[in-house]
Amino acid sequence: MFKYAIIPFLLILMFSCGKPQDAANVESISYIVDSVAVDSKGHIFDLQYSMLKSDYSQEDGVLYNYNGYEHSIEMIDLDRLEFAGRFPLQVEGPDGTGSRVYTVKSMGNEKLFLAGQLAGVFTLAGKLVKKFEWNNISSNQGGIAAEEFIYQYMAIPGFDHLAFALVTDHIANRASLKMLNSKDEVISTYEIDPNRNYKTYTLGDLTNFNNWTPTVFLSSEQDKIIVSHEFANDFYVYSPDRDHVETVAYSSTYTPSKVTITTEGDFINSTEDRIGAAQYYREQVSFGPLVWDPQNKRYYRLSSSSTFGEEKRGDRILHETTSVDVYLSVFDQEFNLIGEMPLPQLNNQSSAKYFVKDGMLWIFENRDDEMGFVRVIFE
């Protein structure tokens, strides 16, 4: 059944015009927070990854979510707040996606960039219209090395000949951005981790797969690729029209710019020591990706700090989260920080899926295995 609730709070969001922020030049913007749920119409959604395998299409006006149980794409109508259809995918054959999909990106006109074992653009009917063959590029043309592993894929609508990948090197223990130009059959590499955040916050043996690595986000927003790190607030913006990477770093009032590392514990042999360190990092701050608001012409980013209890829930690795403090950072089109504030009505970690629709920030919320959203509505 459809459910709708308005949280009765009227809050004030403070913005400054430019950097540095000046208390004498502050604009007040109010917002309200409400909560909605999607009518599943009897369909069982796949929510196990907090909807991180989904994408809201501004052009198509619907939310696409990958269902790993059925190997299909779910369509959700967010205007009606209801399940709108299911589109099966093929595992093998000329239109095969492979057995799993990890990236979903709308390319507009009911086409999706899907990536997992393979990467390509598909129609909703499951027809492959463009395949990106990363492994066919020779080393002379920048091909993927034996010690490198493709961590994530992404694409930019309007740049049909380009595909992007976040690649990790498990020997050097570093991350980089790679771009496949299918016209020239060449792969280019870009620096998106000059501060070695990936290595700094890895727990475990750096020379093999016996480690816990921090999350690095690879997103496509407003004709750009944005790479951001979980435990440090610096992020990197690639503009394909200029073939240029911009570095963005900023100081926050509410969170540290990066997590302070711990060296206490045996992170190679002790799972409990790794758990303690991971929780210590998330107690300080965990940064999410940036999302673009085309209506208000700005970017939003959530970050959070968590408090953990002594118990574990089910098969989860970390202890049960007892509380979460969530913060909102707002950037202009040039990625200048123009405002930030805590969001006390939110209790989700910044790793949950969030996006912008109609000038509102939508944050996924699992409601007893039903799809729900908390919305921040700017006035």
In tens, the pLDDT along 132-141 reads: 999 999 999 9
Domain membership flag for residue 227: no
pLDDT confidence band for 208 (50 / 70 / 90): confident
The model's pLDDT over 25-48, given as tens digits with 9 standing for 90+, comes to 334 467 799 999 999 999 999 998
Domain membership flag for residue 265: yes
Domain membership flag for residue 359: yes
Domain membership flag for residue 327: yes
Domain membership flag for residue 341: yes
- Chain center to CA of 239: 18
pLDDT confidence band for 8 (50 / 70 / 90): very low
Amino acid at 143: G
The model's pLDDT over 56-101, given as tens digits with 9 standing for 90+, comes to 999 999 999 999 999 999 999 999 999 999 999 999 999 999 999 9
Question: What is the structure's pLDDT at 27?
Answer: 44
The model's pLDDT over 242-298, given as tens digits with 9 standing for 90+, comes to 999 999 999 999 999 999 999 999 999 999 999 999 999 999 999 999 999 999 999
Closest by CA position to 325, among listed 253, 254, 257: 254
Question: What is the structure's pLDDT at 75?
Answer: 98
Domain membership flag for residue 374: yes
pLDDT confidence band for 347 (50 / 70 / 90): confident
Domain membership flag for residue 175: no
**339 and 16 Cβ atoms separated by less than 8 Å:** yes
Question: What is the structure's pLDDT at 29?
Answer: 61
For residue 342, the enclosing domain spans 13-42+250-379
pLDDT confidence band for 213 (50 / 70 / 90): very high
Domain count, the chain: 1
Mean pLDDT of 120-126: 97
CA distance 26 to 338: 10
Domain membership flag for residue 273: yes
**109: number of Cβ within 10 Å:** 11
